[in-house]
Amino acid sequence: METLHGLVEHIVYHNENNGYTVMALMCQGDEVMCTGTMAMVNEGEYIKAEGDYVEHGTYGRQFRIASFSIEAPEDLFSIERYLGSGAIKGIGPSLAGRIVKKFKEDSFRIIESEPERLAEIKGISERKAQEIYQQFHDKQDMRQAMMFLSKYGISTAYAVKIYNEYGSRLYDIIKENPYQLAEDVTGIGFRLADDIARRAGISPESDYRIRSGVIYVLLQASMNGHMYLPVAELKAQAAEILGVSEEIVDRQLMDLSIDKKIIIKNIEERPVVYASMYYYLELSTARLLKNLNIKYEVGLTEAERQIQRIEANEKIELDEMQKTAVIEAARNGVLVITGGPGTGKTTTINTMIRFFENEGMSIRLAAPTGRAAKRMTEATGYEAQTIHRMLELTGGPEDKEGSRFERNEQNPLEEDVIIIDEMSMVDIHLMNALLKAIMPGTRLIMVGDVNQLPSVGPGNVLKDIIQSHCFNVVMLTKIFRQAMESAIIKNAHKINDGEDIDLAVKTPDFFCLKRNQALDIQGVIIALVRDKLPKNVGASSFDIQVLTPMRKGELGVERLNKLLQEYLNPKDEAKREKEQGDRLFREGDKVMQIKNNYQLEWEITDRYGIPLEKGVGVFNGDMGIVREINFFAEQMTVEFDEGRKITYPFAQLDELELAYAITVHKSQGSEYPAIVMPLLSGPRMLFNRNILYTAVTRAKKCVAIVGSGQTVMQMIHNQREQKRYSSLDVWLGEV
């Protein structure tokens, strides 16, 4: 490792989020380009830097800094340069010159120890002198804090957040209860706080640690869709993660309950534990939903006549359940319509739109994802939005619910009727935000397939609403003749009913290629996606989606993505690449956002790069293409649906993964020209009817199953699903 001493001549690039900096360092008359993570470094400062010279493919020889420290400027020129660099607000080049001319080498000492003397200089009042002093000290305090936090392995980005949250209190918090960070600072979870605590010498059996660990287990459970955990499961999981006995965990539950961090209730005659947020979220959702359930007087004869007129005008014929759905929508403040593929949900929605339009009522259509909203628009001819757009997402932090949406109790939606499609995808967070923006008197119509997988986020909203028996539910069961001509729809219903499907029959839209070895299956997948299916379905290889139940293994998401990347977007000198952990991103790659980020900004531009529209927010499951990797700026640009471009700092690339292959869970709400599904063997929990049904119903033109026919049959007969702990149906029955 080499050491450089020099003057920061010019900062070329600085990333505020992660501290990554590109700068020119003047060392003994030579300019050296340096890169590294450096918070709080300014032009004009002298630094001591340790690191190594590296050869960059594009930018040539650079010095990569591993660590650095600030040194006192060596001469009057350097002191003046630093003071005039903008490092201290209120001092520009002209004022810096006057300070140095007056106080010479004593300039720093005067600012720090005798700031009132600055008022001796023309242009500096006593108030301004104090402001300069404060700026100087804040800068020093923050730099000191950065150095202190770095000893605990805390990155620059998190160090800035911690300093902004606590100021000088951070030293006591780190030494006494670092677990407080997990509660107060966005992005710092239990694992990081626990690592800091270990470095700070906090006991593994500390009350703070146990309590934080319990909350962590509950929040991890929410990431798996649960609203609560049974007490026994919670204690067992917390004890295992913390490496302590269940008795030690148990002792902290009562204290957490008294502090209102957790809520303990009896559900189905057994004690369960909620993180407080999720308990109140479910309770609030139940109350808001019940408030909307107003009954309206509607003349049955006139309603039937109006439906007949719509049928005649639109040249359609509704079955009895579809007519019932339209009438019930007019009669009820809340209505659920559910049914499988081909049962006429879209036709029913279209009829409702015409019905309410004829009544002079305003209507709003929405769906959980951009793809689902686009499909809804195409099917109805009526503009549909994502729920987030409809609620006017603002980009506030995820944990500050009220600041996220402009539409809420104070600024509700003004439409008379709101229709939400793909309701099975809506989690408890989004449902609660939606209901806050709907006032009693507005009709809410929820449409979805209850047999699909539940939402990626916590809760089981659609299923719980139906199971509560508190609202009118219309179940569409008739498969229309046109739909029955589709082998996809025919087989989807057979799967859902637990009936065997004939895999020997191969149709252009549904077939099974039997293979018994993972390597053979991989080869067939590549051939189908790259060569055969694009011509058959009139789509590109990138539009065809590989769906698999698993993440790991030879036929899991991770392995298949690496394989498909190699064949669909191979290495090319013209394409830049970026390694991030065990992932490799390449320009042209198909990628997916894997967590909700309400603050990332996007823009839509015309072909000349002029912005046409701007907004915030990218969501779990959104898919896009990597358009540019910029090593100089340390960022990657991804283009999502509708031409939305988002620029990710390299530090945030853990929010993305390759998406040539995705899990069935991640495919919810999306529709693809064709899906390819490898099935050989795997855990019964994942290889079940629900997974197979959801995968098959994602395909528009073709389903290709590759693997074992026996596994397909086992999945059809396996009704075992992962239990999801939710209780919206319970609270709907009680409020």
What pLDDT shows up at residue 445? 98
CA-to-CA distance for 688 and 551, rounded, in angstroms?
16
Asked if residue 437 lies in contact with residue 388, where contact means CB atoms within 8 angstroms, the answer is: no
Q: Is residue 723 scored above 70 in pLDDT?
A: yes
CA-to-CA distance for 599 and 395, rounded, in angstroms?
4
Residues of the chain with pLDDT > 70: what percent?
97
Q: What is the dihedral of CA 678, 682, 684, 686, to 10 degrees?
A: -50
CA 647 to centroid of chain Cα atoms: 15
What pLDDT shows up at residue 401? 44
CA-to-CA distance for 400 and 397, rounded, in angstroms?
5
C-alpha distance across the termini of the chain, in Å: 67
What pLDDT shows up at residue 259? 92
CA-to-CA distance for 334 and 307, rounded, in angstroms?
20
What pLDDT shows up at residue 156? 66
In 477-572, which residue ranges form alpha helices assigned H by DSSP? 481-484, 487-496, 518-527, 533-537, 557-568
Confidence of residue 398 (pLDDT cuts 50, 70, 90): very low
Confidence of residue 184 (pLDDT cuts 50, 70, 90): confident
Quick one: DSSP state of residue 479?
Answer: P
- Report the pLDDT averaged over residues 569-597: 91
Please state which of the ranges 158-162, 239-243, 244-248, 290-294 shows the lowest mean pLDDT: 158-162
CA-to-CA distance for 235 and 251, rounded, in angstroms?
10
Say which residues have a Cβ less than 8 Å from residue 564's Cβ, sequence separation at least 6: 525, 526, 529, 546, 658, 660, 661
pLDDT digits (tens, 9 = 90+) for 628-662: 999 888 899 999 988 899 999 888 898 999 999 99
Say which residues have a Cβ less than 8 Å from residue 330's Cβ, sequence separation at least 6: 296, 298, 303, 355, 356, 359
- CA-nearest of 206, 198, 189, 264 to 230 is 264
What pLDDT shows up at residue 121? 86
Q: Is residue 509 scored above 70 in pLDDT?
A: yes
Q: What SS3 state is found at 573?
A: coil
CA-to-CA distance for 147 and 141, rounded, in angstroms?
10
The H or E element that residue 322 is part of is helix 320-331
SS (H, E, C) 241-283: HHCCCHHHHHHHHHHHHHCCCEEEEEECCEEEEEEHHHHHHHH
Residues comprising the chain, all counted: 735
**Pairwise pLDDT comparison (481 vs 310), residue with the higher score:** 310
Q: What is the dihedral of CA 342, 345, 351, 354, to 10 degrees?
A: -130
Confidence of residue 402 (pLDDT cuts 50, 70, 90): very low
What pLDDT shows up at residue 86? 67
CA-to-CA distance for 246 and 261, rounded, in angstroms?
19
- Report the pLDDT averaged over residues 363-372: 91
Q: Is residue 708 scored above 90 in pLDDT?
A: yes
In 104-184, which residue ranges form alpha helices assigned H by DSSP? 107-113, 126-150, 156-166, 170-176, 180-184
* Token pair for 722: 């992962």
pLDDT digits (tens, 9 = 90+) for 453-492: 888 889 999 999 999 999 999 999 998 867 778 999 999 9
Please state which of the ranges 182-196, 260-274, 493-507, 702-716 shows the lowest mean pLDDT: 182-196
Confidence of residue 18 (pLDDT cuts 50, 70, 90): low
CA-to-CA distance for 669 and 665, rounded, in angstroms?
10
- Report the pLDDT averaged over residues 100-109: 86
- Report the pLDDT averaged over residues 675-682: 94
CA-to-CA distance for 422 and 368, rounded, in angstroms?
7
pLDDT digits (tens, 9 = 90+) for 608-631: 888 888 888 888 888 999 999 998
CA-to-CA distance for 357 and 361, rounded, in angstroms?
5
Q: Is residue 72 scored above 80 in pLDDT?
A: no
As separate numbers, helices (DSSP H) first and strands (DSSP E) second, the chain gives: 27, 28
Confidence of residue 676 (pLDDT cuts 50, 70, 90): very high
Please report, for residues 563, 582, 650, 651, 657, the alpha-carbon distance to residue 579 in angstroms, rounded to integers and kept in the order given. 16, 7, 10, 12, 11
Q: Is residue 25 scored above 90 in pLDDT?
A: yes
Confidence of residue 400 (pLDDT cuts 50, 70, 90): very low
Mean pLDDT of the chain: 89
- Report the pLDDT averaged over residues 23-31: 89
What pLDDT shows up at residue 685? 86
What pLDDT shows up at residue 638? 97
Torsion over CA: 296, 300, 303, 304 (sign)? positive
pLDDT digits (tens, 9 = 90+) for 126-177: 888 888 888 777 777 777 777 688 777 777 667 777 888 888 888 888 888 8
Label residues 221-246 b or e (16+ Cβ within 10 Å = b).
Answer: bbeebbbbbbbebbbebbbebbebee
What pLDDT shows up at residue 144? 75
Other Cβ atoms closer than 10 A to 163:
21
Q: Is residue 397 scored above 60 in pLDDT?
A: no
- Helices 76-83 and 93-103: crossing angle, nearest 10°? 140
What pLDDT shows up at residue 431? 97
Q: Is residue 671 scored above 80 in pLDDT?
A: yes
pLDDT digits (tens, 9 = 90+) for 34-59: 998 776 777 877 888 999 999 887 77
What pLDDT shows up at residue 396? 56
